[in-house]
Structures are given as C-alpha cells and as structure tokens.
Amino acid sequence: MKQLLDRIIEENRYLTELGKVADYIPALSTANPDDIGVCYIDEKNNLYKSGAYNTKFTIQSISKILTLTLAIMDNGLDRVFEKVGVEGTDEPFNSFVKLDSPNVTKPANPMINAGAIVVTSLIKGDSSNRFQRILDFIRLVTDNDSIGYSEEVYLSEKTTGSRNRAMAYLMSNKGILDGDVEDILDTYFKQCSIEIDVVDLAKIGKFISEGCKGLELSDVSKKELTILLKGILLTSGMYDYSGRYAIEVGIPTKSGVSGGLMGVVPGNRGIGIYSPSLDIHGNSIAGLGIIKSLSKELNLNIFN
Ligand code: GLN
C-alpha cells in the first residue's frame, strides 16, 4: 500500500503546475505547491502515509462537515434544515448571487460559505465557547488533542473577508442569520483556521464512514446523521464540481481552499490528502488526480 501511495503521488505531481495556490486569503499564499501528502486508513485501522504527511495546513471548508454535525446534534435535523438547504449548486463556493432574490429563503447547502456561516450560527454557546466546542469536537473525532488553530491565517481571513462579511450581513437582513454577525463570522474564520494534517483528515473520513461512532446519540439518530452527511458530501462537498466528481471518483469527499481533501471511503475507511495548488473550482488539483487514481486502483467508487 505504501508503494502504491508513493507511486500515485509521483504520477500526479505534474498537476500542481496546472493549478494555483489560493491567495485571496493572503496568509495561504505562502504554502509550498511541492508539498503533497496522502494518508489512507483501512477498516482494520492500518494507517498508510506518504509524502508530506507531517505538513500542517488549515482545515478551511473541511470544517463545514463537522460544524454541520455539531449543529445537528445541538438542534436536530428539522431546525437546521429550516435555515439551510440540501441541494447541490452550480455556483462557486463563495457565491451569493441567488441569496438576494425575493423567493430564496436559505443558502443552497451547508458546504458553500453562506450555508456554512448559517450552520456556525446554530451551534450552541456564546462567541468564545462556540469556537472551543468546535475545536474540542475536531480533537475528539481525530483523537488528537494537540490540534489548535493558526492565529496568522485567522487574522488574515478576518481582515480580508469582505465577501463572507457581505453575505452574512445580507442573510442577517433577510432574517436567515440570527445573532451578532461579527461574532458569528469570527467563529467561522477561526474554525477555518484550525490546523491539521492528512492523518487527521483520514481519521475524520473514517469516523463518518464508521457511522459517526462514539457520538452520544441513539443508533437510529447516528444512522440518519451518517446518511445525511455522506449524501451532502457527495452532492456538494466539491462545490460546483460535485456532479462530475461523484461519477469519476464516487467517494463522498470534502475539499478546502488550503488544498486538503477528506474522503469517506465505504467500509470503515478514510482518506486524507494535501496539495495546495488548486483548480478553478477551488479544489486541490493534484489531490483530485490522486483520489481519482486511488478510487480506480483500490476500487472505491460507491457506484461500482
Ligand atoms: N475560509 C474559506 C472562506 O471562507 C473557506 C473556503 C474554502 O475552503 N473553500 O473563503
């Protein structure tokens, strides 16, 4: 397996030159496009890693699936989906063009920024302990208490986040977002700045694949939650590339703009990938090549 990962990294390395490291958050622009890391955890908990598996990077949008889990545990499914939809979208992750139409009452799904900001607002707690709860939850799922956040990325995003700020104020004006907008944004920026590595990502994938094992919920609720998380990942985890991705790769996956990919592999397995050069959709360009190769070589496509 280790040799397979080494080979797949090398076969896809050329792709990094076809993409670009994100720079709209200035602190992300210093990432090294040559860093590529992969981790695969199998059903027996064997952990295989290759490349830059030690490199830390910020979780960014991959946090959205975990904040969604927390918000559902706090409020139940019905209350959460009153405020955010479950439909895929052909708009980019940071778009909010449709939100201002009179007949649109909620963001399309919880994986685009607008939807994720609403989800963060639904997590119980005041502004300081809401972030602490998110951090504790990520530490629990990854079994890694050393996880923290990058103050530099958080401040960089906070000072340049006009687009996220604009969509949050629009949602507040329309009554979609309740509470103090700056407080909610602050938590959102911080959750995106949590630092992880590919091993942590593979553990998140395995956690969801195992039916959210360990959460204090009934078996029925855990089953319902897991089906929902996998469905949302498959239909909107890769933003406006999710449809093609579902066919070509067939693994419920979430991407983040710092170059992470977290894959929920059926049969209690998980994948974590890092490569910061991105394609036009904001997904890791070599990461996509790597997970496509893994899906083919290990026969992981859920539609197969
Ligand atoms: N923090 C990023 C933002 O809000 C998250 C986006 C992403 O990872 N795609 O723009």
Q: How confident is the model at residue 248 (pLDDT cuts 50, 70, 90)?
A: very high
Tens of pLDDT, residues 285-294: 999 999 999 9
Residue nearest to atom 6 of ligand 1 (CA): 61
Ligand 1 atom with minimal separation from the 94 CA:
10
What is the CA(112)–ligand 1 centre distance, in A?
8
Higher pLDDT, 250 or 219: 250
The CA distance from 266 to 290, in Å, is: 18
- In this predicted structure, what is the pLDDT of residue 46? 98
220 included as an active-site residue: no
Instruction: Report which secondary-structure segment, H or E, holds 204.
Output: helix 198-209
The CA distance from 83 to 76, in Å, is: 12
Ligand 1 atom with minimal separation from the 258 CA:
8
Over residues 55-80, mean pLDDT: 97
Tens of pLDDT, residues 76-99: 999 999 999 999 988 889 999 999
154 included as an active-site residue: no
Is the confidence at residue 175, as pLDDT, over 90? yes
Over residues 111-140, mean pLDDT: 95
Residue nearest to atom 2 of ligand 1 (CA): 60
Residue nearest to atom 4 of ligand 1 (CA): 113
What is the CA(63)–ligand 1 centre distance, in A?
10
Residue 118 near residue 171, CB atoms below 8 Å: yes
Which CATH architecture group holds 2-59+195-298? Answer: 3-Layer(aba) Sandwich (3.40)
Ligand 1 atom with minimal separation from the 60 CA:
8
Mean pLDDT over each residue of the chain, to the nearest integer: 96
What is the CA(93)–ligand 1 centre distance, in A?
8
Name the fold adopted by 61-190.
Beta-lactamase (3.40.710)
What is the CA(281)–ligand 1 centre distance, in A?
12
Please give all residues whose beta carbon lies within 6 A of any atom in ligand 1, as ranges.
60-61, 93-94, 113, 157, 164, 192, 256-257, 282
Q: Give the residue carrying structure tokens 């195992």.
A: 210
How far, in whole angstroms, is CA 105 from its chain's centroid?
24
**Do the domains at 2-59+195-298 and 61-190 have one common CATH topology?**
yes
Q: What is the DSSP string of 122-140?
A: HSSS-HHHHHHHHHHHHHH
Name the active-site residue from 53, 149, 188, 245: 188
Residues 6 or more apart whose CB falls under 8 angstroms from that of 38 comprise 5, 8, 9, 49, 50, 51, 53, 198, 271, 272, 273, 274, 290, 294
Q: Strand pairing of 260-265 and 20-21?
A: unpaired
Please report, rounded to a whole number, the percentage of residues in the chain having pLDDT higher than 70.
100
Is the confidence at residue 128, as pLDDT, over 80? no
Supply the DSSP symbol for 20. E
Is the confidence at residue 127, as pLDDT, over 90? no
223 included as an active-site residue: no
61 included as an active-site residue: yes
Q: How confident is the model at residue 256 (pLDDT cuts 50, 70, 90)?
A: very high
The structural domains of the chain, with segments of one domain joined by +, span: 2-59+195-298, 61-190
Over residues 62-80, mean pLDDT: 96
Among 57, 192, 236, 241, name the best residue to mutate to test ligand 1's pocket (greatest count of ligand atoms within 8 A of Cβ). 192
